[in-house]
Chains A and B, each alone.
Chain A
């Protein structure tokens, strides 16, 4: 019975952590889907969300909701500026070059945040208290429910956007074939810009809702970014359910591994899964193998 209780706790904790990974994974997938770029500055958008909220709360003395809006808005603008200054000017750049640029940007953002706000870890107050909620012998914090809720909303939002709006469809068209999209009159440049804006906003939002749980500092983006990337890879870089499932599975396996095998291997488990999937199913766990028509 005790073991059963423990396992329930491992699974529930894992799902909670997993939905954080899922949300970050989604923001990776959004950019990848319309540009083919993997944006390694994604973790930094997550970090900015948390750090800017704390700054708006403590220094500008805004109420929580306004602070969150400011943080997400500012991060979105940073995403926009980043695309305009670093990605757009490069004509005919290979994806590899673009990826290296995003790595550079991530180091730059991290450095600037460290200079501006120092190296100290900071915590955001929980949105609705810290009294634990008990579910089937395991416990959760109210903040976890916020994370689950926001993740579900973001997935639904993405689904609606990509499948039912002109812009969303245009963005998908760009990801399938840029030239063809261009030929039918889609402004590819604008779609790329859109994708950076949306994914910066989603990343920042993720950063805001997890900051009360995990706390934040200038360097939290690296690990969160890697785990989110891992989730996106598991989901085959799709912007939908696959990535979310990938995140949840990753979180659960990590938690079970730490609890049942050894806590020393927690990160190793994530990277082992990442490598395994890249070797065996590079198209992701949930995608049918696609045939590329040339």
Chain B
């Protein structure tokens, strides 16, 4: 009993102190990330980064003198849970905006809720259908797959290669990449000679590659996430495949080079700029943001900041800018977001408009090549 009284007193005292310190109540922001479950490799760095950025903003005095309060829930990558949690954020926590979720599935599931409640959402997932067609209250920070495809096709056009073979993984990521590769080919005057797939758990792709070797293709584009592309790189080397190999941004991490070993040499891929921040020219608008983010993340978590954390960094910073300009109401934030132009973030330079809630161009990606077990920029 005594303990209870003292706890109650202590929390009351704390309450008085905190209200004394903050003249105005904090601005509540909701966050949904897949911190556990199969998409935890996305959700964990996102959660870490979002909390880190919010803490820093508060330490520097908050937004227009008011602190931010981040209310984070874990969706586990489960769309049903995401829907429940989004409802909770809107109805119980009364947040002014939501960042996340981490996956396209979760994001699509909660769009009806935020549209109905009229609360702006900044998704951290990559699927282009999140913002196509444009939904009034939905924005996103992760780069669309289509932009990566455009980056590769642009390079092929530069190298005057018009015939390609594509090899995509048979999961959601690969299917979306395959769709974009086929849809944009005509625009760049590219002909897809061979269109093969592989299973996410396959351990030998020599059959598909032998077939591609026998075709007239001048380049191979492979779309997948680890470990499949590493197997493909090794198999391609085994078969002595001489045509250049392009990979997707799905493998733009050091892990790919580690897995593929020597076979990774010479492979080119579009990548977000976090990976090569120190190689970028000084004129690059994103460079200061990138270096700050990488240093911060390193200090806080003793790990390298990655693209995924970057998506959350962008979401929080875009929100901060919108609150500064548009105030702390959901409608004000939405309008200010839509009018955000040339914001240099981690994922790219964002310019939202009434017609574009994804906000990025293909310059969000930079083409890199593996040389001597490290990345170099492709000029």
What residue of chain B has the Cβ atom nearest to residue A140's Cβ? Answer: B238
Q: Does A139 contact B (CB under 8 A)?
A: yes
* Residues on A with beta carbons closer than 8 Å to the beta carbon of B211: 6, 259
Interface of A: prevailing SS = helix
List CB contacts (< 8 Å) of B190-233 with chain A.
196-199, 201-204, 206-208, 210-211, 213-214, 226-227, 230-231
Which of B199, B210, B211, B214 has most chain A Cβ within 10 Å? B210
Q: Do B255 and A263 touch (CB < 8 A)?
A: no
Which residue in A9, A17, A223 is a CB contact (below 8 Å) of B201?
Answer: A223
C-alpha spacing A109/B198, complex, angstroms: 27
The answer to whether A132 and B239 touch (CB under 8 A), given A9-B206, A121-B226, A215-B230, is yes
C-alpha spacing A23/B235, complex, angstroms: 22
C-alpha spacing A123/B264, complex, angstroms: 13
Q: Does A258 contact B (CB under 8 A)?
A: yes
C-alpha spacing A26/B350, complex, angstroms: 57
What residue of chain A has the Cβ atom nearest to residue B230's Cβ? Answer: A215
C-alpha spacing A263/B261, complex, angstroms: 25
Q: Do B214 and A120 touch (CB < 8 A)?
A: no
Count of chain A residues near B, Cβ 8 A: 41
Q: Does B280 contact A (CB under 8 A)?
A: no
Count of chain B residues near A, Cβ 8 A: 32
The answer to whether A13 and B204 touch (CB under 8 A), given A132-B238, A139-B238, A215-B231, is yes
Q: Do B210 and A9 touch (CB < 8 A)?
A: yes
* Residues on B with beta carbons closer than 8 Å to the beta carbon of A217: 227
What residue of chain A has the Cβ atom nearest to residue B198's Cβ? Answer: A263
Which residue in B210, B213, B238 is a CB contact (below 8 Å) of A141?
Answer: B238
C-alpha spacing A212/B131, complex, angstroms: 42
Q: Does A187 contact B (CB under 8 A)?
A: no
C-alpha spacing A222/B255, complex, angstroms: 23
Which residue in B41, B231, B238 is a CB contact (below 8 Å) of A214?
Answer: B231
Q: Do A123 and B208 touch (CB < 8 A)?
A: no
The answer to whether A123 and B238 touch (CB under 8 A), given A9-B210, A263-B197, is no
* Residues on A with beta carbons closer than 8 Å to the beta carbon of B230: 121, 123, 215
A-B contact list, 30 entries, CB within 8 Å: A3-B214, A5-B214, A6-B210, A6-B213, A9-B206, A9-B239, A17-B203, A17-B204, A121-B230, A121-B255, A121-B259, A122-B259, A123-B227, A123-B258, A130-B237, A132-B237, A139-B239, A140-B238, A141-B234, A213-B204, A213-B234, A215-B203, A215-B227, A215-B230, A217-B227, A220-B201, A224-B203, A259-B211, A266-B198, A267-B199
Extra pairs beyond A213-B203, A264-B197 (4, CB < 8 Å)? A9-B206, A13-B206, A121-B226, A130-B263
